């Protein structure tokens, strides 16, 4: 037993000696030279991670910078977006600065670019119902605009345009090489879009967004260059100054440690880069509030006839043929889907459906669209996707009467027993929704490619060949699916034509 205990002591002492020997060099190695972090960072694993980061030279450099001359709020936390308070109707300068490096975008040097400034909702929930919100504001404030440009105070802006159908946007041209400042006025206040409850409600934030485009080869400013935006709240006159003072006083009462969690207030607001607004910049080409029919001269005997969809309120006489190509196809790309939404007056929802292809949109059910877009626009979008047109109140068929010489030739051929040139009268359907004489005139002009302004009167041939003026009351008494031969006669004064329905 004593021998066993002695052997255990020998083994333990040997293991302890070996372990001490194995550790003896550690302290010496560390003490031999100073510990270097650069040596550690030079290891392959750290080199690999570092190489994946973009170098400073590759950092994206925006071509433009927009600076609004209005102070930011001091009551914004460090990592939150800045917030700027504006007074309703007061002019605020937005400086349009050329931020390009030497050699950047030489194609726009010495040329004009176009910028569109918008005031839009910051809250995504309100973005989904923007159209309804703005329509309600327009109803309560007839004749007013949400955003205006103070032209006398602005510098360097050219060809300023505002669209009566887009009350929240203005556009202009400017030269990046020259000093340019646009003075804007916001006329809506944040509390106008807050549900009225007990008073003192918190107003909703807006966004000021600037989108800039360069000119394409066809002369249109549709090539996107840069977009930036900032968050704002709009108060009644002098309300922004009071709110800024209140925020400043609140911050002064905080401890130094608490102040470190908040951003300082800056004298100006720099708009930060963002995605372009989904509306197309060509929306301002036509300044007329109502679309004017356009016509082309007929070079063939066949005419393009409006589809039954032309009687729908969705196609309020835009003067173009609406055919099966108007339907959204499952194979449509994301860009084609965006264009389809814009064409059918769903611009409010282009941002919401910015990643939807044609197939994605067509998969949505009626209930899905109502939940996303609300009852009114949801049902309208569903009907548009399914190509459901409004049923016309009256349908008439018209055919252009052949020339008298052609009639005589056909009668002669029929007398001689030659039926090879038998007359085939092709009728065109006209779908009426308004049951008005003006709509009959407009649809006839579309069918027969006659400029609308050249049609003086439309008559219906009555008993003994008399000409009866077509009035609204006469149209309302037309039999459904009536057939008419259409002929034209030159007006007495030599200007324009009269159309006769036989």
Q: Report the top-level CATH class of 394-407+425-501.
A: alpha beta
- Taking only the tens place, the pLDDT of each residue in 69-118 is 999 999 898 888 899 999 999 999 999 998 888 878 888 888 899 999 99
Whether residue 269 has pLDDT greater than 80: yes
User: Which of 4-13, 123-132, 471-480, 486-495 has the lowest average pLDDT?
Assistant: 4-13
Q: Where do the H-state alpha helices sit in 344-482?
A: 358-362, 366-373, 375-385, 404-415, 437-448, 472-476
Helix (H) or strand (E) holding 98: strand 91-98
- Token digits for 60? 């994206």
Mean pLDDT over residues 421-427, rounded? 70
Inform me whether the pLDDT recorded for 24 exceeds 60.
Answer: no
**Chain mean pLDDT for the chain:** 75
What is the model's pLDDT at position 9?
59
pLDDT digits (tens, 9 = 90+) for 326-379: 788 888 888 888 888 888 888 878 878 888 888 888 888 888 888 888 888 888
Q: How far, in Å, CA of 436 to CA of 440, rounded?
A: 7
C-alpha distances (whole Å) from 255 to each of 73, 251, 258, 259, 262 are 18, 8, 5, 6, 11
Query: In this prediction, what percent of the chain has a pLDDT beyond 90?
Result: 20
Comparing 134 with 225, which gets the higher pLDDT?
225
pLDDT at 10: 52
What are the residue boundaries of the structural domains of the chain, listed by start?
64-273, 334-386, 394-407+425-501
Taking Cα atoms as reference points, which of 212, 192, 209, 210 lies closest to residue 201?
192
Q: How high is the pLDDT of residue 270?
A: 93
Q: So what's the architecture of 64-273 in CATH?
A: Sandwich (2.60)
Give the number of other Cβ atoms within 10 Å of residue 295's Cβ.
15
The average pLDDT across 3-24 equals: 53
């Amino acid at each position: 037993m004593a021998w066993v205990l002695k052997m255990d002591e020998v083994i333990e002492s040997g293991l302890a000696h070996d372990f001490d020997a194995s550790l003896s060099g550690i302290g010496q190695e560390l003490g031999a030279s100073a510990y270097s972090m650069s040596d550690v960072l030079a290891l392959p694993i750290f080199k690999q991670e570092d190489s994946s980061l973009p170098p400073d030279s590759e950092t994206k450099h925006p071509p433009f910078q927009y600076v609004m001359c209005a102070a930011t709020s001091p009551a914004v936390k460090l990592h939150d977006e800045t917030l700027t308070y504006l007074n309703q109707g007061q002019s605020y300068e937005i400086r349009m600065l050329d931020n390009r490096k030497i050699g950047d975008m030489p194609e726009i040097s010495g040329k004009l670019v176009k910028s569109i400034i918008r005031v839009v909702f910051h809250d995504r929930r309100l973005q989904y119902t923007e159209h309804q919100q703005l329509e309600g504001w327009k109803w309560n404030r007839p004749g007013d605009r949400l955003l205006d440009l103070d032209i006398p105070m602005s510098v360097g802006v050219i060809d300023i345009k505002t669209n009566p159908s887009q009350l929240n946007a203005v556009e202009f041209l400017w030269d990046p090489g020259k000093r340019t400042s646009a003075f804007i006025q916001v006329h809506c206040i944040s509390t106008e879009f807050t549900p009225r409850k007990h008073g003192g409600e918190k107003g909703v934030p807006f966004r000021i967004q600037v989108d800039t485009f360069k000119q394409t080869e066809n002369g249109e400013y549709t090539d996107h260059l840069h977009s930036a935006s900032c968050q704002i709240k709009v108060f009644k006159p002098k309300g922004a100054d009071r709110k800024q003072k209140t925020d400043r006083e609140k911050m002064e009462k905080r401890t130094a440690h608490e102040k470190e969690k908040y951003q300082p207030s800056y004298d100006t607001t720099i708009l930060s880069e963002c995605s372009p607004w989904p509306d197309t910049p060509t929306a301002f080409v036509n300044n007329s509030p109502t679309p004017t029919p356009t016509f082309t001269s007929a070079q063939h005997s066949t005419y393009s006839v409006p589809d039954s969809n032309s009687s729908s309120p969705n196609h309020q006489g835009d003067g173009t043929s609406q055919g099966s190509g108007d339907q959204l196809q499952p194979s449509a790309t994301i860009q084609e889907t965006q264009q389809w939404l814009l064409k059918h007056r769903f611009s409010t929802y282009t941002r919401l459906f910015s990643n939807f292809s044609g197939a994605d949109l067509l998969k949505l059910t009626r209930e899905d669209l109502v939940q996303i877009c609300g009852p009114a626009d949801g049902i309208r979008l569903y009907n548009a996707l399914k190509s459901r047109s409004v049923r016309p109140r009256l349908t008439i068929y018209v055919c252009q009467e052949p020339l008298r010489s052609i009639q005589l030739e056909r009668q002669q051929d029929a007398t001689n027993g030659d039926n090879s040139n038998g007359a085939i009268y092709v009728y065109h359907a006209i779908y009426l929704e308004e049951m008005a004489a003006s709509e009959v005139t407009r649809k006839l002009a579309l069918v027969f490619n006659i400029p609308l302004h050249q049609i003086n009167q439309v008559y219906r041939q009555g008993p003994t060949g008399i000409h009866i003026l077509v009035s609204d009351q006469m149209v309302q008494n037309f039999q459904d699916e009536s057939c008419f031969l259409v002929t034209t006669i030159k007006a007495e004064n030599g200007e324009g034509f009269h159309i006769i329905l036989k």
